[in-house]
Chains A and B, each alone.
Chain A
Amino acid sequence: QVQLVEAGGGVVQPGTSLRLSCAASGFDFSSSAMHWVRQAPGKGLEWVAVISYDASDKYLADSVKGRFTISRDDSKNTLYLQMNNLRPDDTAVYFCARENYSGSGSRGPPKYFDHWGQGTLVTVSS
Chain B
Amino acid sequence: DTPLTQSPPSLSASVGDTVNMTCRASQSVNIYLNWYQQKPGKSPKVLISATSILQSGVPSRFSGSGLGTDFTLTISGLQPEDFATYYCQQTYSLSSFGPGTKVEIK
Task: Flag the segment in B12-20, B76-84, B97-105 that touches A.
Answer: B97-105
Chain B residues within 8 Å of chain A by Cβ, number: 26
Residues of B within 8 A of A110 (CB): 31-32, 34, 49-50, 53, 91
Q: Can you sample 21 A-B contacts with CB below 8 Å? A: A44-B87, A44-B100, A45-B89, A47-B94, A47-B96, A50-B94, A95-B44, A102-B50, A103-B49, A103-B50, A105-B30, A105-B31, A107-B30, A111-B32, A112-B34, A112-B46, A113-B44, A114-B46, A116-B43, A117-B43, A119-B43
Select B99's contact among A37, A44, A95, A107, beta carbons within 8 Å: A44
Across the interface, do A112 and B97 meet the contact criterion of CB distance under 8 Å?
Answer: no
**In chain A, residues 82-118, which have Cβ atoms closer than 8 Å to a Cβ of chain B?**
95, 102-103, 105-107, 110-114, 116-118
- 0/1 interface trace, chain B 20-62, chain A, CB 8 Å (1 if under): 0000000000111010101000011110011001010000000
A interface, by DSSP: helix, strand, loop or mixed?
Answer: strand
Residues of B within 8 A of A44 (CB): 87, 97-100
Give the CA-CA distance A37 to B97 in the complex, in Å.
Answer: 10
Residues of B within 8 A of A111 (CB): 32, 91, 95
Interface range for A: 20 to 34
Q: A35 on the interface (CB 8 Å rule)?
A: yes
B5 CB → nearest A CB, Å: 11
Select A62's contact among B1, B43, B97, beta carbons within 8 Å: B1
List 9 other contacts, CB 8 Å, given A44-B97, A44-B100, A95-B43. Answer: A47-B95, A47-B96, A62-B1, A105-B50, A106-B30, A110-B31, A110-B34, A111-B32, A112-B34
